[in-house]
Amino acid sequence: LVGILVAIIRPQQIFARLRDTQRMSDLNRLSNAIQTYISEFAQNPASIVLTADLGGTNGCVGGASSTIYYSASTNPPGVPAPFQRAVATTSVAIDGTGWLPVRLSSSTLLNISQLPIDPRNSAYDAAPSYYYTFACRTDLGFELNANLELMKDQAANDGGDNPVLYEVGPNRNILPTATSVNFYPNP
């Protein structure tokens, strides 16, 4: 009876919490997949491609240019130096042409059929905005971010440099913080 009353009274919060759980699960799975991919090709680092549009790690921080990749349908507003925006896409392809440019399809250790996208995956100009972001470093470090709806304590305690966004990856200080740029409007 209590469960039924809770579902009737607060279904929006229940669904928002479920979406946040999905976001955290998606980013953790992607982080593990990228780390597995890097480990598999560690014997030949030149074959590791974290930025498929530029090849290798050229689009990573410390390379020729620094690119932020989005699972959104439209590009977020301008980002601070040293970053540039990739073309926003909702593609879920795992061959490096999807929103995450890592060529996960070349791994024999991974069983991923498509990339996840945010459960709401709203455009940046929708308030608030929900989409996933990715950036990397030339030392093969990377960061994945998501805006959470309700579970803000998870974002504040994830070990990253941004208390507003949920951050995963070995380097949780690559992407710009929401406080330094309108990166995720109205988080």
pLDDT one-digit tens code per residue, 20-67: 999 999 999 999 999 999 999 888 877 888 886 666 777 787 765 688
Distance in Å from the first CA to the final CA of the chain = 34
SS3 content of the chain, % helix, strand, coil (to 5): 25, 15, 60
Write down the mean pLDDT value for the chain.
84
Alpha helices in the chain (DSSP H): 2-9, 11-40, 152-156
- The DSSP line for 63-95 is SSSEEEEESSSS--S---TTEEEPPP-----TT
Of 170, 177, 135, 140, which is closest to residue 156 (Cα–Cα)?
Answer: 177
Question: Strand 142-147 and strand 133-136: pairing?
Answer: antiparallel
d(CA 48, CA 57): 8
pLDDT one-digit tens code per residue, 44-56: 877 888 886 666 7
